[in-house]
Amino acid sequence: MSSEPDYSHGVAYVAGRYVPIAEAAIPITDWGFLRSDATYDVVTVWDGAYFRLDAHLERFERSCRRWRLDPGLDRAQITDILSRCVRLSGLRASYVEMICTRGQPPWGSRDPRQAVNRFYAFAVPFVWLANEQQRAQGLHVMISDVQRISPRSVDPTAKNYHWNDLTMGLLGALDAGADSVLLVDGQGHVVEGPGFNVFGVVNGRIVTPGEGMLEGISRRTVIEMAASLGLEVAIGPVPVPTLRGAAEVFLSTSGGGVLPVTRLDGQVIGDGRPGPITTRLVQTYWAWHKDPAYRLAIDYAA
């Protein structure tokens, strides 16, 4: 006797079917796997509603255009697939990913134009980049000497899976006892970390890199929140010494919003606690999750 599938740990959309996350798979010959030839985006669900879904869908479309990929679906169709993944799982707080891969060209061909692109999606429980203690007390982050892939080689503003530089930097930071890592560009400016953007507070002004990194939706949210709070934001190069001398440092990510950093390269930042500007932005970030302007409720009964 067959039993109902267990969707409680997450749901994936693969080849037109919805399957438990543990059963999700892609063909081993898909260039998304073989060559990291893919793009993706991640939107979160909090308290049963998407946060800034339109912004994530717009960036996904832009990334697809940049990499010459076509998911074969419009925004409404993608939204329906994502929502069904969430509904089937029953998750009220979820990490929801949409993916478009190159697929596989006809066997023997090396022409990516001949490939049939593939769309995948999944919803799993909400993914925190930092645990509860780290969110309350702040993260220890190291600045790596590993350089981020040059934007002339891989455009960082279009989401991609070219993460080997980030992974090697992260491994070095973890081996040294830190929680995470920041990479630099060829000029010695801090750019980004694995899955997050970075901000500092210098002379009462918020600073953040302006190029060489993914322009995160959470980063955009921080910049908009700062404007609403009357806080000045300077977007441009952030040399390593500038960040090391900041009064406050924090990260922005869909995996938790605004996350304080209280140690950088082993040195305490400020008084070793999340600073006042960081704290205001943390509170505002979660308050905005209740704002109808940024929420799209999921109909779990559909």
Domain ranges of the chain: 11-125, 132-288
**C-alpha–C-alpha distance, residues 3 and 12, integer Å:** 18
Q: Are strands 38-46 and 17-20 parallel, antiparallel or unpaired?
A: unpaired
How wide is the angle at C-alpha 199 spanned by C-alphas 64 and 148, nearest 5°?
Answer: 50
CATH number 3.40.190.10 is the correct assignment for the domain at 11-125 = no
| Fold match flag (11-125 vs 132-288) | no
For residue 186, count other CB atoms closer than 10 A to its CB. 11
Could you tell me if 29 and 144 are in contact, meaning their C-beta atoms sit under 8 angstroms apart? Answer: no
What would the two tokens of residue 149 be?
């892939």
CA dihedral 107, 61, 169, 24 (to 10 degrees): -60
Select from 188, 162, 166 the least CA-distant residue to 244: 188
- Tokens for 294? 């940024």
Residue 228 has a CB neighbour count (10 Å cut-off) of 10
pLDDT tens, N- to C-terminus, the chain (302 residues): 457 899 999 999 999 999 999 999 999 999 999 999 999 999 999 999 999 999 999 999 999 999 999 999 999 999 999 999 999 999 999 999 999 999 999 998 999 999 999 999 999 999 999 999 999 999 999 999 999 999 999 999 999 999 999 999 999 999 999 999 999 999 999 999 999 999 999 999 999 999 999 999 999 999 999 999 999 999 999 999 999 999 999 999 999 999 999 999 999 999 999 999 999 999 999 999 999 999 999 999 98
Return the pLDDT at 302: 81
Candidate CATH numbers 3.40.309.10, 3.40.50.1100, 2.60.40.420, 3.20.10.10; the one for domain 132-288? 3.20.10.10
pTM of the complete model: 0.95
User: What single string gives the DSSP state of each residue in 198-225?
Assistant: EEEEETTEEEE--SSS---HHHHHHHHH
CB 260 within 8 Å of CB 274: yes
Least Cα distance to 264 among 199, 168, 185 occurs for 199
